[in-house]
Amino acid sequence: MKTNVESVSGVEKRLTVEVPADEVARRIEKEYAEVRRMVPIKGFRKGKAPMSMVKRLFKDHVESDVAEHLMKETFADAVRDNNLRVLSMPRIDGGKLKDGEEFAFTATFEVLPEVTPTGYKGLPVVKETVSVSDEQVDAALSNLRESFANYHAVEGRGAAGGDMVEIGFSSVSGGETIESGESSSLILGDGNLFGKEFDEALDGVKAGDRKTVEVDYPGEFPNRKYAGKKVSFSVEVNTVREKRLPEINEEFVKNFNDLKDMNDLRSKLRERLVAEGEERSRHRVEEEIRKGLLEKNPFEVPGSLVDRQIAHMIQDTAGRLASQGVDLKKVNMDFDKMRERFAPGAERIVRVSLLLSAVAKLEDIEVSFPEIEAEMKEIAEGARTSYEKVRELYGDEERMDALRDRLLERKVMAFIVANAEVREEVASE
pLDDT of residue 429: 56
Question: Residue 117: which of 401, 359, 380, 342 has the closest Cα?
Answer: 359
User: What three-state secondary structure class fits 70?
Assistant: helix
pLDDT at residue 428 in the model:
66
For every residue of 2-62, DSSP letters joined together read: EEEEEESSSSEEEEEEEE-HHHHHHHHHHHHHHHHHHS--TTS-TT-S-HHHHHHHHHHHH
Distance from C-alpha of 13 to C-alpha of 25, rounded to nearest angstrom:
29
At 335 the pLDDT is 86
Domains present along the chain, CATH in parentheses: 2-110 (3.30.70.1050), 115-148+259-299+363-429 (no CATH), 150-244 (3.10.50.40)
Three-state SS sequence of 342-377? HHHHHHHHHHHHHHHHHHHHHCCCCCCHHHHHHHHH
- CB within 8 Å of 164: residues ≥ 6 apart: 151, 185, 186, 187, 188, 240, 241, 242, 243
C-alpha span between 298 and 99 (Å, rounded): 49
The whole-angstrom separation of Cα 211 and Cα 234 is: 6
* Among 3, 18, 7, 17, residue whose Cα is nearest residue 110: 7
Tally Cβ neighbours within 10 Å of residue 204: 12
Residue 105 contacts residue 94 (beta carbons within 8 Å): yes
Residue 202: predicted pLDDT: 95
Instruction: Give the span between the Cα atoms of 61 and 35, in whole angstroms.
Output: 10
For the beta carbon of residue 274, count every other beta carbon within 10 angstroms: 14
Beta bridge partners of 104: 18
Buried b or exposed e, range 69-106, using 16+ CB within 10 angstroms = ebbeebbeebbeeeebebbbebeeeebebeeeeebbbb
**Cα 168 from Cα 69, distance rounded (Å):** 66
pTM passes above 0.85 = no
Low-confidence ranges of the chain (pLDDT < 70): 428-429
pLDDT tens digit string along 130-147?
Answer: 999 999 999 999 999 999
